[in-house]
């Protein structure tokens, strides 16, 4: 949960500052402060840093801790904060970062690093399917475990704040401490694990611990520069049918 707008109001009033006073301190327009406190805009990362220094807190606390409830102190949960770094234009328009295969290893350690995120390629796409107000990211995948989506495809994703937002059977990009970046269909067999299944029947399902999750992204589309062969879909369907037949034979034998 992001508490930026609530925290800005709380901290500003605690310091007995008007929106104009805060705008002067941050060297931005007063109207920007209003848009941030109403949730209509997102500050640039440089503004977030200035604001956190001004109020004597970390950027993590400014974004992810409800300071009006904790008394301006981080709650001692012992759990690592899972914050999401985003890219915005000077006009506070959010950009979509691209994580290519060659950057996937660095993403695990750099995803919370502002400078790392700023080095990633990014873009904006004015299409109806990408609604304003949501956070999107694009991950390039490797391997053939999710055929017919071919290796090298770019998966367009919508950010999911927590596990409760997962819809079973849908494809997701998961960022995990143990597996790195994975693209699978997700199921929830119990309260502590996720079951990850590939669309390619040659790959066996496996589980990951919820405690290892760093980020969850719902796949909403993909871009590929590999043109499909005419019979590729039929071959894939045939392979899936053969795999199901083998499972049925094994079940009957047992």
Tell me the C-alpha distance between 179 and 165, whole Å.
21
pLDDT of residue 199: 95
Across the range 174-188, mean pLDDT stands at 93
pLDDT in tens, 96-146: 999 999 999 899 888 877 788 889 999 998 888 888 778 899 999 999 999
Predicted confidence at residue 189, as pLDDT, reads 93
pLDDT digits (tens, 9 = 90+) for 79-99: 343 557 777 777 777 889 999
Predicted pLDDT of residue 253: 77
Q: Per residue, what are the HEC states of the chain? A: CCCHHHHHHHHHHHCCCCHHHHHHHHCCCHHHHHHHHCCCCCCCHHHHHHHHHHHCCCHHHHHHCCHHHHCCCCCCCCCCCCCCCCEECCCCCEEEEEECHHHHHHHHHHCCCHHHHHHCCEECCCCCCCCCCCCEEEEECCCCCCCCCCCCCEEEEEEECCHHHCCCCCEEEEEECCCEEEEEEEECCCCCEEEEECCCCCCCCEEEEHHHEEEEEEEEEEECCCCCCCCHHHHHHHHHHHHHHHHHHHHHHC
- pLDDT tens column, 38-54: 888 878 878 888 898 89
Average pLDDT, the chain: 85
Residue 161 has what pLDDT? 83
Distance CA 211, CA 48 (A): 29
Give the Cβ contact number of residue 105 at 10 Å.
11
Domains and CATH numbers, the chain: 4-70 (1.10.260.40), 87-223 (2.10.109.10)
């Amino acid at each position: 949960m992001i508490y930026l707008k609530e925290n800005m109001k709380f901290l500003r009033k605690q310091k007995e500052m008007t929106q104009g006073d805060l705008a002067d301190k941050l060297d931005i327009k007063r109207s920007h402060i209003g848009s941030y406190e109403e949730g209509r805009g997102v500050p640039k990362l440089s503004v977030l840093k200035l604001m956190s220094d001004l109020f004597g807190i970390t950027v993590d606390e400014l974004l992810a801790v409800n300071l009006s409830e904790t008394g301006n102190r981080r709650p001692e949960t012992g759990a690592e904060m899972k914050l999401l770094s985003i890219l915005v234009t000077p006009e506070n328009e959010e950009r979509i970062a691209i994580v290519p295969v060659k950057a996937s290893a660095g993403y695990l350690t750099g995803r919370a690093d502002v400078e790392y995120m700023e080095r990633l390629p990014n873009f904006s796409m004015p299409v109806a399917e990408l609604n304003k107000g949501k956070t999107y990211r694009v991950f390039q995948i490797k391997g053939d475990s999710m055929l017919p989506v071919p290796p090298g495809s770019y998966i367009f994703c919508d950010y999911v704040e927590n596990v409760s937002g997962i819809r079973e059977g849908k494809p997701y990009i998961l960022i995990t401490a143990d597996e790195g970046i994975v693209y699978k269909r997700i199921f929830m067999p119990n309260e502590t694990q996720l079951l990850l299944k590939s669309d390619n029947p040659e790959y066996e399902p496996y589980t990951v611990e919820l405690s290892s999750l760093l980020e969850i992204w719902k796949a909403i589309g993909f871009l590929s520069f590999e043109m499909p062969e005419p019979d590729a879909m039929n071959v894939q369907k045939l392979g899936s049918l053969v795999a199901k037949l083998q499972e049925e034979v094994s079940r009957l034998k047992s």
